[in-house]
Amino acid sequence: MSSKASAVADEFRSHLNRLASTRAKFENLFASKKIKRHDVEQVYVGLYLDAVVSFERFIETLFIGYLVGRIRPSSKRIVPRISFSSEKVARDVVFGGQNYVDWFPYRYTEKRAVAFYRNGLPFTGLQDADKKAIERLLTIRNAIAHRSSYSMRTFEKNVIGSLPLTGRERSPAGYLRSIFRITPDQTRYENLVAEMAGIAQKLAV
């Protein structure tokens, strides 16, 4: 039985909401002085990595799901060039015999989409602003996951830039927990996760 693409996006958003609940619990623990600032910052890092991995998994689920008819697009513009009756076969072909493929940087997804979908849609339909947002998401992820001098320099240049942040907030963990806006109150982590959910919604047309 197939599912609507919007349902897949809703499931992804629900996962992000569960992560948000965990974040709020640890902020409350910090506010009551039951854990230290370093502890809550590490929670932000873990939650962020989980969110990005889930975002990548969402893209893969949508990509394969359309090909095998397990997911129904709402737009008639989304037409696979080839259909598969088996998800295993679809994965073997899309993955080129490998155990996995990279969907990020996002240009990998776009190139793959052109091969398997008419006009590459919906994966080639994102606006430049969305693609830049994904690049920023990955720059932060790389700074957290790799901690190399290159990834940190890229993070400093392309994410921090001229933002008026404190010394602690210029680290990936501190940046995620820093305030994005006051009204309504929102951390940069929350803003980044909201961007992921928004892009997912655009792909699930």
User: Mind listing the pLDDT tens digit for each residue in 17-44?
Assistant: 999 999 999 999 999 999 999 999 999 9
Q: What does the mean pLDDT of the chain come to?
A: 96
Mean pLDDT of 134-163: 97
> pTM score, two decimals?
0.95
User: Residues of 50-78 as b/e, b for ≥16 C-beta within 10 angstroms?
Assistant: ebbebbbebbbbbbbbbbbebbebeeeeb
